[in-house]
Amino acid sequence: MKQISTLTALLMAAGLAGCGGDTATSTDLTAVNPTEPVSDWQLVWSDEFDGTSIDDDKWTHEINCAGGGNNEKQCYTDSPDNSFVSDGTLKIVALPAEEGAPLPYTSARLNTKYQGDWKYGRFEMRAKLPSGQGSWPAFWMLPTDNVYGEWPKSGEIDIVEAVNLKVAGEDGVAEANVHGTLHYGRAWPNNASSGKAYQLPEGMNPADDFHTYAIEWNEGEIRWYVDGYLYQTQMASKVRFNSRGEAVGLSHRGWFSENFDIVTGELETKWNSAPFDQRFHLLLNLAVGGNWPENVNNLGIDAEAFADGQTYEIDYVRVYQCGQDLDSGKGCETVRAGYKDEETLVIGEAPIPSPPSTGVAQNLIIFADTPNPNWPAWDCCGGSTPALVEVADRGNVYEFVVNAQPTVNGFITRSAFITDEEGVPSPFDASPLIEQGSISFDMQVVSAPSNPASTWIFKVESNNNSSFAELPITTSSEGISPVTGEWQTYTFPLQMLADAGLDLSAIDAIMIFPAWDTGNGAVYRVDNVKIAQPDAASPELTIFTDEQNPAWPMWDCCGGTTPVEVMDDAEHGLTAEFAIGATPTVMGFNTRLLEAAAEPFDASALLSEGVVQFEVKVVNAPTNPDSSWLFKIEADGGESFVELPLSAGNGGVEPVTGEWATYTFSIQSLSDAGLDISAIDVLLVFPAWDTGNGAVYRVDNVRIFNPNASANGPITLFRDAVHPDWSLWDCCAGSTPQVVDAGAPYGNVAQFSVLGSPETVQGILADETVSYDATPLLASGSVSFDMRVVDAPANPDSSWIFKIESTGAASAVELPLAAGNNDQAPVTGEWQRYSFSLQSLFDAGLDISDINVIMVFPAWGTGSGAVYQIDNVEISNN
């Protein structure tokens, strides 16, 4: 059955009907002569309606009051009042029903099933369409055999539809759009559709006169025409593969199908010609009302428009097939220049296959003080602009507002929303982090929504919303509701999000918002948005730094020279030098040269943040003043490559002779340009072909890496001995902490003594200019240690303190020692483990990027006589 869900209908209404600029297309038809015969097509079936009755050998009447699956208000009949042939045309007439009828109108729906069924061809109708609020004529196609399942899994092709023609809106403009649409994909209500509206040249309306409507359908492609003008093209999706044959995305997003494999029983997505690769039949009908027409233009049904009937008048229906190749339907295309340009080619709704996970864990900071150009802050629908504001003790945070217009806010990495010139869409593969990783953020509600019943929502989307997880914010690990005025941390384990339906391999939107249409008046701030787990690794390739990588030798492709290593300035040391003579050539580094070639470099794990970076100094410029410098990178034996101006890696600045310059190309941009980043094997820098004679240039620090990857992993400050960059420390009393043997299983431990005068604090201090950046461990890391009190302080009221500071005591957190051990105070003579989460220390104000000293001591002025031992001091993820 032809059906559209209520939501789909409303969305179509908003996006298609009654509108102009965005979806309708006005075209000068003088570019095409519609009177010329269709070339190369062979007529295989037609009805010219020249007789006195409807041909039962071609058409079957459908008789029902089912409402078309769209809540339509007509019963379909075979009454001659509703459909008949006269004066060379077929009339389908919608009329008011008799009193007491099941539905208020009658009409007709005819089909050619089992009498006219075709795979591929040109399907054409000349008709004058009816008008009036509530009218919905259609010329369309359904599958005859439902090979892929019930509607819409086996597809639907709408050749032409229109609703409410000639109905004038508030702007006084009469509705004049016709629509061509495909329906496909998953079972209702998760079905997909894609299409386009078309508007006849100014002053013309499809209800005023006859026009010709057609599609041409061949394997993998369908084109829509009005009066011979091709206004829309839709295509099967085209999958992009890497060198391992793994799907990594779509080079074109078109239609798709989803079915259970009959052998494995697994649900599979197909990005091929299905479901539009089976035989379909034709339908003609005139509906009255329904989800679509009743929700657009002037709404509802205008009874006066149907009082005397509305007529859908068809001059002919013709079917052509291409004799050149019946199997594919190709060879007879009636096309024009640009018929696959952005104005004509429709982007479909196929789910985008996620790039295969590399299995390499990496962390992502979406926002922490500094905006990430790849992940802009975003107001979906409310028209506000998220603001970067400075907050005491936090630095910059993002502030979001919700006004009367319903909206969601958050961060997104899709091209349509990236405005920074440096930004690139960077969907994030979090699947390797699933066991320990999480999405976390800090939020402060400045002003609560005016609606007291509003609730706060956390939502994550993946792969252009191919999958998502939407949860109440209270389902975070902390299990808390926002408290106005307070900064609070929310953590959502990746496993929980995956269980809720999120595909972790291509996360591209994170949203935090009051529930839809309840948030008016809300003002809130967000900070420290990250996807992270402990100890994330990041692959890196060094091709040349001070010496060449033997697996990536320097290379002159064609000029016969031998690149050499030469000393440059003190900063660069040994560099790679290339010289070009009269013979045209390209130069660089090539891992395919060796008989036992190195493995190509797989940069898949670097897709979101990685770069190809190197430095170049031109010693002698080419003698040709018109020469330009190029960068080229190849993969998989040359199966894919990208060639760009060298200046594109340095803000458009051309090389300056005698000066070093750094060039940076994002992995994401190279992948988007077509490079298979899973098998990089050649990197070239050179003057344009046959223009480089006389050029001498040097290259250094050639790397493929993630510049945001931290070099800091976990650190052990004391285990048997103190870390070489840190020391045992007595702040003020002049004692010297000792390393003593505590016996098995601890061995050597640090021992501190409080002499009594002067007062003091003690611990482990970083050497001058040394500090520790614990930022990569924030999500689940901690500061932890073992401690044993050998002799308690003489003062029985003494309490034990833990304190941690950043360099110069610029920030500090002081807590009861017992807070690190479930509020259990030290017991003299017993080893006990203490752990303080980095998140809690950060929330308390510690600058965790600059940890400089860790202290454990009896409260000031109460510690005289205390002796205590500490071991296994670490900042890690345990």
495 sits in which H/E element: helix 494-499
- What the block records as the tokens of 748 is 């050597």
Residues annotated as catalytic are 156, 161
pLDDT in tens, 550-579: 889 999 999 999 999 999 998 899 999 999
840 sits in which H/E element: helix 838-843
878 compared with 837, residue with greater pLDDT? 837
Would you call 413 exposed, middle or buried from its count of C-beta atoms within 10 A (0-12, 13-18, 19+)? buried
Q: How confident is the model at residue 359 (pLDDT cuts 50, 70, 90)?
A: low
Q: How confident is the model at residue 533 (pLDDT cuts 50, 70, 90)?
A: confident
> Given the DSSP bridges, would you call strands 109-111 and 280-288 parallel, antiparallel or unpaired?
antiparallel
What is residue 236's DSSP assignment?
A: B
758 compared with 335, residue with greater pLDDT? 335
146 compared with 707, residue with greater pLDDT? 146
How many angstroms separate the CA atoms of 407 and 380, rounded? 6
Per-residue pLDDT at 470? 96
Per-residue pLDDT at 16? 29
| pLDDT over 80 at 358, yes or no | no
pLDDT in tens, 836-859: 988 889 878 888 888 999 999 999
Task: Give yes or no for a contact between 322 and 330, defined as CB atoms under 8 angstroms apart.
Answer: yes
pLDDT in tens, 253-298: 899 999 887 777 788 889 999 999 999 999 999 999 999 999 999 9
pLDDT in tens, 719-778: 888 888 899 999 988 889 999 999 888 888 999 999 877 789 999 999 888 888 887 677
The average pLDDT across 73-92 equals: 97
The average pLDDT across 673-688 equals: 94
Per-residue pLDDT at 595? 58
User: Mean pLDDT, the chain, as a whole number?
Assistant: 89
The average pLDDT across 792-797 equals: 93
How many Cα atoms occupy the beta-carbon half-sphere of 401 within 13 Å? 10
Q: What is the identity of the amino acid at 367?
A: F
In terms of C-beta distances under 8 Å and separation of at least 24 residues, what long-range contacts does 595-602 make, across chains too?
597/681, 598/551, 598/552, 600/243, 600/635, 600/636, 600/678, 600/679, 600/680, 600/681, 601/541, 601/679, 601/680, 601/681, 601/704, 602/358, 602/539, 602/677, 602/678, 602/679, 602/680
Per-residue pLDDT at 597? 53
Sign of CA pseudo-dihedral 438, 439, 444, 450? negative
Percentage of the residues of the chain whose pLDDT score is greater than 70: 92
Query: What does pTM read for this prediction?
Result: 0.52
Per-residue pLDDT at 534? 63
Phi, psi of 10 (to 5 degrees): -65, -40
Phi, psi of 660 (to 5 degrees): -75, 140
Q: Largest Cα–Cα distance in the chain?
A: 119
Which residues make beta-bridge pairs with 127? 211, 314
**Residue 371, helix vs strand vs coil:** strand
Per-residue pLDDT at 779? 63
CB atoms within 10 A of CB 429: 27
**Residue 31, helix vs strand vs coil:** helix
Per-residue pLDDT at 240? 81
Per-residue pLDDT at 15? 32
- What the block records as the tokens of 138 is 């259609």
Q: What is the identity of the amino acid at 555?
A: W
| pLDDT over 50 at 20, yes or no | no
pLDDT in tens, 172-218: 889 999 999 999 999 888 899 999 999 998 889 999 999 999 999 99
pLDDT in tens, 46-72: 999 999 999 999 999 999 999 998 999
pLDDT in tens, 154-167: 999 999 999 999 99
| pLDDT over 80 at 29, yes or no | no
- Sequence-separated (6 or more) residues with CB below 8 Å from residue 301: 73, 133, 134, 288, 289, 293, 294
Task: Give yes or no for a contact between 572 and 662, defined as CB atoms under 8 angstroms apart.
Answer: no
Phi, psi of 96 (to 5 degrees): -65, 140
Task: Give yes or no for a contact between 129 and 163, defined as CB atoms under 8 angstroms apart.
Answer: no
Which residues make beta-bridge pairs with 680? 601, 635
| pLDDT over 90 at 654, yes or no | yes
Per-residue pLDDT at 744? 84
What is residue 772's DSSP assignment?
A: B
717 sits in which H/E element: strand 715-719
How many angstroms separate the CA atoms of 710 and 667, rounded? 18
Per-residue pLDDT at 124? 98
- What the block records as the tokens of 706 is 């993630």
